[in-house]
Structure 1
Amino acid sequence: MSPIARSLLSMAIAWCVALGATGCTPPPAPPPSSPSSASTPARPFTVLAAQKATTTDPAAVRNDSDAMVTLDLFQRLMLVQPSTQLLKPDLAKECLFTGAQVYECTLPKDVLFSSGRPLTSSDVEFSIKRALRLAPAKMSLLGALRSIETPDPTTVRFRLKYPDNQFGYGLAVPAASIVDEAAYGADEIRPVDQPAVGSGPYQLESWDDKGLTITKFAQYKGPLGTDMPRIRIAWADSPTAEQALIDGQTEIVWRTLSPAAVDRLQNRAWTGHQQNDPAGYFRWGLPRAVLQRLVWLPRGPYRSDATLRAAVSLALQEDRTASSILPTMIEGHADSFALGGNPKMPALVSGIALTMRFTDSSPAMADLANRVRDRLEEQLGISVKLVSEAEQADLELRDSAPLVNTALGWLQDYLKNPLPGSAGKLADLEERVRSSSRDEVRLPALIEIQKQAAVDATVVPIAETEGVLFLRDRVNLVGEAFGPGWQLALWGARWRN
């Protein structure tokens, strides 16, 4: 059994135990027989999130809410089941290596964009090249790409610089979504006040300051269907989302909730079960798929100071529970950062003042940012100023999803911004991982990357935590309802039978 499968199984068992000895059964209160039945609420199916989406353009995805919107409005050539890392066709009928350095995808003939225009291989070539120009960091798993050929409207041929076992995964990331080349500029981001034009299971109906509304795209052709004719994604803080869940005014709450709110909701659900008075909601079991990490931003003036980077890592060692920038559940994980103890802090020059940004819409990250700041100031005698996620900074506290839930997907935070002295070594190690299917080649290279990450300390792990996702009892998520890096996608939302 894979580490991920074991993690999911252990969480399911824990939830069953929490529900008592009577067994683990689906929550009661069956849903309406159809969205049009008299008992269906007038409001649309509602998803609450604190992190606001900023764009509908795949090349401009910056956060997990952006990724959620992109995953729903667009298709990619491939998709990844994050729990199994299984790679499957999405838009493509099939994608195969026809040679050691040739990856070829075949498209169906009857796919339409929401504009009504047919989707062809020319749109695929345009979209991939556009994303590589506008969002190279988000497309780093396509680093082996040499050229793209489109010999006919349904064939896309990728020629590679070297054999690459990660290339298909690179075609599944949100930034690799296929856009209509007749609607999108080749070198500019499409504003949110212009319609998103994709071929995904949903299309954009409206966007406003409070959220966005998506509707089922009737001409969608692909493996990811949906039963929901209309979904409202709205922005909410933790208290609002908590009360909406209790009052039955939302179907899904994604991230958003503070640790205290999560505890209150779970305690309320437990008490309700004990008293035979169901709370009406439940927490969806997610693995420890969130890695909290501190990242030195490449343009900061202090990033080149090796002593300071090492000092920051040491200052967090006492509280650190994650031992690598590669999560424990991923094959190839190796302990590389020390945990606990009482490390000796190096002497630093006086007057160091750092700025640290974080996802300020997330209460959990706000709490963590304050703890990290306090620890750095106490241990190192430096000044750390907290700023919002949109501001310039030296450091960034992250809990965002990886490009894809694979070893190299997780390691891109580190690999795509190497220190000059490590760049050559890391490029060689990454190519070794990509170009071989043999564990005796891949795993030592992955371990060496993690060891070098601990030396460089440009990305410092803090903790692995579970994702926070609550659903109403009448809601289910079927199939793989998540993007390649455990981003929430809404194509799997269903009324519970």
Structure 2
Amino acid sequence: MNRKTLVLPAVVGLLAPVLAACGSTESAGGGGKNAIVVGTTDQVVASKDNPAPLDPAVGYEAGLWNVLRQTVQTLTIAPRGGGAPVPEAARSCTFTDTENESYRCTLRAGLTFADGTPITAEDVKYSIQRVIDIKAESGPIALLSNIDTIETKGDDQIVFHLRTPDATFPYKLATPAAGIVPKGKYPARGGRTGFQIDGSGPYTMKPEAEGDRVVRIELTRNPSYKGSLKVLNDKIELDLFPDAKAMGKAMDEGSIDMMTRAMSPEQASAMLVKPKDGVELTEMPSLAISYLGFNTKNPVVSKPVRQAIAQIVDRGEIAGKVYGSTAEPLYSLIPSSITGHTNSFFNKYGEPSTAKAAETLRKAGIKTPVKFTLHYTTDHYGAATADEFRALQRQLNASGLFDVSVEGEKWAQFRPEQKRGDYAAYGMGWFPDFPDPDSYTAPFLDENNFLNSPYRSIEAQRVLIPQSRREADRSAAAKTYEKLQDIVATDVPVLPIWQAKQYVAARDGVDGVEWAISATSELQLWELNRSDA
């Protein structure tokens, strides 16, 4: 899922009262001796355009979801080792028809919010219906838009009637978009402003902020929690740093116990070469990807131009020289570890070739060099992003076929301008909503897509995506996804560049690190515990 946080400064008056804070264990607001202190570069920011970033109906970004996952419950959840979702707030969930159009869940007995208020089927209906009704512009509405009606039966049964068959629906119910919230604290037609979250998840939370930005979140084990998760600690302190350098400094100074997403390539490489005493580096699989997007209505980046770019870009050089051990080349929107992956771009274009790119442009009658600007965000995907785009610029310009400049903008400006179509070409990252090929295709190719792209493929939207969702056995949809990937390689509305690896560094005595972040970059902080406690 990439996702979205608009960072505009003039919003202090919009926020609930907050406490000033900086970032050490000693000054933590009640963190205490036994709290495990986790550092992250994820950002939680409120703005005039988005004063409710931690409302499940509004927040749609990996960093925001990582907070929501600790605090709100969903009917289903991805199991510890991956695979199909299992019941969480529900005790059972199943499709009740052979077409995958009706999905029934029965709640666990005795389920309550953290304040002790009982949770009923009506609370679940209210929580999910408000996502649909609010329809936040940068929110997760697309995940739930296939719901036609929500029916309750008694206090404990919910039935979702879908407009079209969708075998991926259980995965979507496992995302924070379907988080269950108390109706008294979350308005039906608008987002809940400020940074407080109330739910029935494994933790309660207390945020500390400086102005419009959260700098620390204290997570305390929720004694009322009833679900499928085993919570192995009593308290976590999540410290939010502006960048990997600041997070690394805190680790060196001993003020945090663990560094999560996202360590810089330099940090990971340095620790691989020369491990630090008392600190263990763990490599984990990652499903995050990086790609170029194009405004396909802009004649400067017409289809032949995009194909020529795809022919020239050397992914191996970018992954190896810019990201080192933390990335590998990607030749499809669907990563190599996801069912249905095929190297469609390599199959079509082969090795980088200036001659083939020149022939593509010549046949289309396009005069060279083609001049355009590559835009990227300076403060959202890490410090290496600038190096990546300078490398792309060098590759394209060295061909003599392009005259490319690069321009970086802060995310607060970049994202709205990208969605408006101001950029001919731009760089983005994507963290999937769930580990399924649908989460790498529909958000880019379907109507109301994440990029607000003008690109349209009738075959993708009306035939292949609906067809892929009919298959309860996800491996049976592999051929359909192969066709979708081939369409992307031919039309190049987006150009995949690399697939990430992820690293976590933790101090000796912190256990459960290997389970604390999933392949989809979801924090699972309930897995952490101290062996020296």
Alpha-carbon RMSD: 2.9
Q: Structure 2 residue aligned with 1:337, among 345, 350, 353?
A: 345
**Alpha-carbon deviation of 1:336?**
0.7
Question: How far did residue 159 of structure 1 move?
Answer: 1.2
Give distance in 1, aligned partners of 2:103 and 2:390: 47
Deviations 1:198-230 (A, max 9, x none): 111111112213222222212111122323332
Distance across 1 between alignment mates of 2:301 and 2:81 = 37
Partner of 1:402: 432
The aligned amino acid for 1:289 is L
Give 1:42's aligned residue. Answer: 33
Change (3 A) 1:303 1:360: farther
Q: Deviations over 1:365-418 (max 9, x none)?
A: 343244334444555203331112221232443334101011112223322336
Counterpart in the other structure of 2:444: 414
Matches of 2:181 and 2:205, distance apart in 1:
14
Of residues 221, 224, 227, the one that matches 2:226 is 221
* Residue 183 (structure 1) aligned to one of 176, 182, 185: 185
Amino acid in structure 1 at the alignment position of 2:40: A
Structure-1-length-normalised TM-score? 0.81
* Structure 1 residue ranges, 4+ long, deviating more than 6 angstroms after superposition: none
Secondary structure in 1 aligned to 2:89? coil
What are the equivalent positions in structure 2 for 1:154-193 lying under 5 Å apart? 154-193=156-195
- Confirm or deny: 8 A CA contact 1:204 1:214 kept in the other structure: yes
User: Residues 369 and 126 from structure 1, CA distance in 2 versus in 1: closer, same or farther, beyond 3 angstroms?
Assistant: farther
- CA 1:75–1:242: 2 relative to 1, 3 Å: same
Does the residue aligned with 1:294 lie in a helix, a strand or coil? Answer: strand
Matches within 5 A, 1:25-424: 42=33, 44-54=35-45, 55-81=53-79, 83-100=81-98, 101-132=101-132, 133-134=135-136, 138-193=140-195, 195-209=196-210, 210-236=215-241, 237-269=243-275, 279-296=277-294, 305-317=302-314, 319=317, 321-338=329-346, 339-343=350-354, 344-345=357-358, 346=361, 347=366, 352-357=372-377, 359-360=379-380, 362-376=382-396, 378-379=398-399, 380-391=402-413, 392-393=417-418, 394=423, 395-416=425-446, 417=449, 419=454, 421-424=456-459
Amino acid in structure 1 at the alignment position of 2:42: Q
In structure 1, C-alpha distance between the alignment counterparts of 2:225 and 2:479, rounded to whole Å = 43
Matched, 1:458 2:493: yes
Give the Cα separation in 2 of the matches to 1:82 and 1:398: 28
| The 10-residue stretch of structure 1 (321-330 or 423-432) with the greater mean CA deviation from structure 2 | 423-432
SS of 2:345's equivalent in the other structure is coil
> Who is 2:12 aligned against?
none
Deviation, structure 1 residue 257:
2.3
* TM-superposition CA deviations, 1:10-39 (whole Å, max 9, x none): xxxxxxxxxxxxxxxxxxxxxxxxxxxxxx
| Cα separation, 1, equivalents of 2:137 and 2:93 | 23
Encode CA deviations 1:59-88: one digit per residue, 9 max, x unaligned.
232432211101001011111137532311
Once residues 244 and 487 of structure 2 are traced to their aligned partners in structure 1, the CA distance between those partners, rounded to angstroms, is: 38
TM-score, normalized by length of structure 2? 0.76
Q: Secondary structure at the match of 2:524?
A: coil
* Percent identity of paired positions between Structure 1 and Structure 2: 23
Counterpart mapping for 1:405-444 below 5 A: 405-416=435-446, 417=449, 419=454, 421-437=456-472, 442-444=477-479
**Alpha-carbon distance in structure 1 between the residues aligned to 2:379 and 2:293:** 13
Give 1:491 shift. Answer: 1.5
Per the alignment, do residues 218 and 184 of structure 1 end up closer, same or farther by CA in structure 2, a change over 3 Å counting?
Answer: same
Q: Which amino acid aligns with 2:410?
A: S
Worse-superposed segment, 437-446 or 104-113: 437-446
Separation (CA, whole Å) in 2 of partners of 1:144 and 1:185: 22
Of 104-113 and 389-398, more deviation after overlay is shown by 389-398
User: Residues 124 and 207 from structure 1, CA distance in 2 versus in 1: closer, same or farther, beyond 3 angstroms?
Assistant: same
Does structure 1 conserve the Cα–Cα contact (< 8 Å) formed by 2:374 and 2:426?
Answer: no
Rounded to whole Å, the distance in 2 between the matches of 1:221 and 1:121 is 16
Q: 1:190 to 1:454 in 2, by over 3 A?
A: same
3-state secondary structure, aligned to 1:261: helix
Q: Is the 1:432–1:441 contact (alpha carbons within 8 Å) kept by the matching residues of 2?
A: no
Counterparts of 1:49 and 1:192, CA distance in 2: 20
Q: Structure 1 residues 366 and 458 mapped into 2: Cα distance closer, same or farther (>3 Å)? A: same
In 2, the alpha carbon distance for the partners of 1:373 and 1:332 equals 31
For each residue in 1:256-278, what CA deviation from the matched residue of structure 2 results, as whole angstroms up to 9, or x when unmatched? 32211112222232xx6xxxxxx
Is this contact kept in 2: 1:324–1:335, CA < 8 A? yes
Instruction: Indicate how the Cα distance of structure 1 residues 84 and 361 shifts in structure 2: closer, same or farther if over 3 A, else same.
Output: closer
Q: What is the alpha-carbon distance in structure 2 between the residues aligned to residue 404 and residue 58 of structure 1?
A: 16
Q: Output the CA distance in 1 between the equivalents of 2:462 and 2:309.
A: 25
Q: Take 1:254 and 1:365, find their aligned partners in 2: how far apart are those partners?
A: 18
Give CA-to-partner distance per residue, 1:166-199, whole Å, 9 cap, x none.
1101101122211112211223221225x31111
Whether the 8 Å CA contact 1:77–1:91 is kept in 2: the answer is yes
Against the structure 1 CA distance between its residues 479 and 470, is the aligned structure 2 distance closer, same or farther, given a 3 Å change threshold?
closer
**Which letter does structure 2 place at the counterpart of 1:119?**
I
- Return the letter of the residue paired with 2:194: V
> 1:136 and 1:99 mapped to 2: Cα distance?
33
Report the alpha carbon displacement of residue 292 of structure 1 after superposing the two structures with TM.
Answer: 1.9
Aligned to 1:16: none
Which of residues 474, 481, 488 in structure 2 aligns to 1:446?
A: 481
